[in-house]
Copies of this chain bind each other. A is one copy, B any other.
């Protein structure tokens, strides 16, 4: 790999001049500039970003810590985050914590060692202490913690709309399949909204919880099968995620339940899969692209030393398709 010295030698100037050309600083004649550019091209020179980062104390790296990219929601989110980061000249260091809090801790330390300029965290197991002694800019996605700013969709409203839709469409016995409720996350507002609406409307209702580590479709299916075993006459399900909702469709087929006649389903997220399954999923659309954009915006503003709002709630939309 050629260094700035090789370029200087080839162009017949000093490293100072090359550095000036690279950074557009000081006075440079067009002739010299051209010579330097030509030398760089000939040598196929790429400035060593490590050395620059070291000096500037800025790496243009953002750490993205999520449970798992293989989950469509995080995959889509990651894609948009990468998109916006790239537009601003930042790069993404990808970390899958696998919902394992020790791996999460290790990853945060690793990201610090690599001098990332900020961390976007969409992972859920971490305890208080580990966040707090990180002085880096952080943005959480769908997660509360102390004074760390977070981005989330309007989960409570989403839960209201979903539950109301089921009742309005005539469901008499409804269930909610929630994420892990032990964690204090914004997503739990979906659960709260479900409870609130069902109680208020006087509709019989149940809640089942998915486990912390289950991203496996077979596990989701098992949960749904167990639910129907206990309550075969459930006629409406609000699932806290489209993947779970799709699993409900799959199990409903096994049990010969007609959708939406015998069973109505509302998901959450509106990932691409929601429009791919048959029947297509009615779901609460999270603005994934906007969540990504907001997260990047909040990180960059913190990197620039700005204070940012702690709460960043983005609007949801109820998308009615064929399962209701």
Residues 127 to 145 of chain A near chain B (Cβ within 8 Å): 133, 135
How far apart are the CA atoms of A53 and B50 in the complex, in Å?
8
Is A110 touching B91 in the complex (CB atoms < 8 A)? yes
Q: Which of B48, B70, B114, B133 contacts A75 (CB 8 A)?
A: B70
The CB with the most chain B CB atoms within 10 A, among A47, A69, A249, A272, is that of A69
Q: Which of B69, B135, B253, B277 contacts A82 (CB 8 A)?
A: B69
Is B69 touching A75 in the complex (CB atoms < 8 A)? yes
How far apart are the CA atoms of A246 and B246 in the complex, in Å?
13
A247 vs chain B, min Cβ distance (A): 7
Copy count, this protein chain: 2
Interface residue? A276 (CB, 8 A): yes
Is A94 touching B94 in the complex (CB atoms < 8 A)? yes
The CB with the most chain B CB atoms within 10 A, among A44, A50, A82, is that of A50
Interface residue? A302 (CB, 8 A): no
Is B217 touching A275 in the complex (CB atoms < 8 A)? yes
A321 vs chain B, min Cβ distance (A): 11
How far apart are the CA atoms of A278 and B1 in the complex, in Å?
53
Residues 57 to 72 of chain A near chain B (Cβ within 8 Å): 59, 64, 68-72
Interface residue? A109 (CB, 8 A): yes
Is B246 touching A276 in the complex (CB atoms < 8 A)? yes
Residues 209 to 254 of chain A near chain B (Cβ within 8 Å): 217-218, 243, 246-247, 249-250, 253
In the complex, chain B residues whose CB is within 8 Å of the CB of A112: 1, 46
On whether A93 and B92 interact (CB within 8 A), knowing A48-B115, A217-B272, the answer reads yes
How far apart are the CA atoms of A259 and B241 in the complex, in Å?
27
Is B273 touching A276 in the complex (CB atoms < 8 A)? yes
Residue of B nearest to A112 (CB): B46
Q: 0/1 per residue, A86-125, Cβ < 8 Å to B?
A: 1000011111100000000000011011110000000000
On whether A49 and B92 interact (CB within 8 A), knowing A78-B69, A276-B250, the answer reads no
How far apart are the CA atoms of A278 and B246 in the complex, in Å?
9
The 6 closest A-B pairs by CB, nearest first: A75-B75, A70-B79, A49-B113, A94-B94, A46-B113, A49-B114
A-B residue pairs in contact (CB < 8 Å), sample of 18: A1-B112, A48-B113, A50-B50, A50-B54, A64-B94, A69-B75, A69-B79, A70-B79, A82-B95, A86-B95, A91-B93, A92-B93, A92-B94, A93-B94, A94-B94, A218-B275, A250-B278, A277-B277
Give the interface of A toward B (CB within 8 A).
1, 44, 46-51, 53-54, 59, 64, 68-72, 75-76, 78-79, 82-83, 86, 91-96, 109-110, 112-115, 133, 135, 217-218, 243, 246-247, 249-250, 253, 272-273, 275-280
